[in-house]
Each structure stands twice: as structure tokens, then as C-alpha cells.
Amino acid sequence: MKKNLGVVQAVYPMPVLMVAAYDENGKVNVMNAAWGMICNSDRIALFIDEDHKTTQNLLKTKAFTVALADRAHMDVADFFGIATGNSMTDKFERTGYHAVKSAFVNAPIIEEFPVVMECELAEVTCTDSFYAIVGKIINTAAEERVLDEKGKVDPGKLEALIFDQFRHGYYVSGEQVGKAWNAGAGLMKQ
């Protein structure tokens, strides 16, 4: 028997995404965004507030990067979520992390995070229910240490953080328990 919990954001897992953009002076700002997802083969949607410093920056530059946070960098990933660039002018510098300019878009790549999508601003959607930034993925880059022998990202090596909306915890993904488009194939024959 299920127990009623009321209104709960009961989607699990949620990604821990590091969204980075330059301001008008080339200064790096990064934020932690859990409400984001792939919305087309070359698009990512970020459901973030318009008043974030990073949001304001990417609206001006029309470019941003989205990196996957991992276990090794959980403390800084969390810091990027609790500190605001609107009032903390040295937010990125406090971490001691390093940024390089993307070769594909006018946005910073945070070197410490192992996988990054380099995006151009494709659209902004604002309704009564949500504010969404949609980026066109121009390139995805990954550290070789998280790739398998075929050059694909290995979730076990990546140890990507996932956010738990139920108890506000971070977890690590990685265990493969089946193959997509295969685990349910036996039911197709019935």
C-alpha cells in the first residue's frame, strides 16, 4: 500500500549539472542546476531561474557549457549551488578551479569536471509554469580517463553525481543492471 506524500518532486535521479558562462567582461560564473535534461538529439534544456548570474551571463553571450559533476568534485559542485554570483563576486576564484575558453563557443570549460557539453543559446521559453534555457550542443568533450575501449563515456568510470530530491542527497551512478532496448524485448514476442 502506498502512503500519500503530498506534492513531492518525485523524479529520480536528477543530474548534477555545472552550467558555466562568461559575463560581459570575460569573468567566469558557474552554477549548479539539477533541473535539466536532453530534449532533442542536439539540445539540452535547463529549467533555471532568470535571475541567476549565470543565466544573465549566458543570455548576453548566447553561449554556455554544461558539465557533469562527479564524486571527486562534489564539494565544489555543491558550493556552486549554494553560493550566488549575484552577491559573491569571487565565487569561481574561491574554488581554485581552472577554466579554459571553449574552441567551439564563447563560454568557459571548467577543467576539473570530466564531461562537458559546449552549447549555443538556441531558445528561451517562459510560461506561467517554467523558465527554460535551451542550448544547441555544438560539441561534447570528455576526459580520456572516463572513456571505455570504444571511446564512449563509461558511467562506472565517470561516477557522475545524481541529486535526490526526496532527502536532498548526492549519490553516484555507475552500476549497469541491463541493456536499453533489450531488457524488455522478450515481452515483444507475446
pTM: 0.94
pLDDT value of residue 173: 84
Q: Which amino acid is at 52?
A: H
Q: Tell me how far CA of residue 188 lies from CA of 178, 180, 182, 184, in angstroms.
A: 17, 14, 10, 7
Is residue 142 packed enough to be buried (19+ CB in 10 Å), middle (13-18) or exposed (0-12)?
middle
Distance from C-alpha of 29 to C-alpha of 55, rounded to nearest angstrom: 10
| CATH number of the domain bearing residue 177 | 2.30.110.10
Could you tell me the residue range of the domain that residue 98 belongs to? 14-189
Query: pLDDT per position in the chain (190 positions), as tens?
Result: 999 999 998 999 999 999 999 999 999 999 999 899 999 999 999 999 999 999 999 999 999 999 999 999 999 999 999 999 999 999 999 999 999 999 999 999 999 999 999 999 999 999 999 999 999 999 999 999 999 999 999 999 999 999 999 999 999 988 888 999 899 988 988 7
Q: Which residues pair with 37 in a beta bridge?
A: 45
Residue 178 lies in a domain: yes
Residue 3 lies in a domain: no
Residue 145 lies in a domain: yes
Cell numbers that stand for 38 in this block: 536532453
Residue 142 lies in a domain: yes
Taking only the tens place, the pLDDT of each residue in 77-133 is: 999 999 999 999 999 999 999 999 999 999 999 999 999 999 999 999 999 999 999
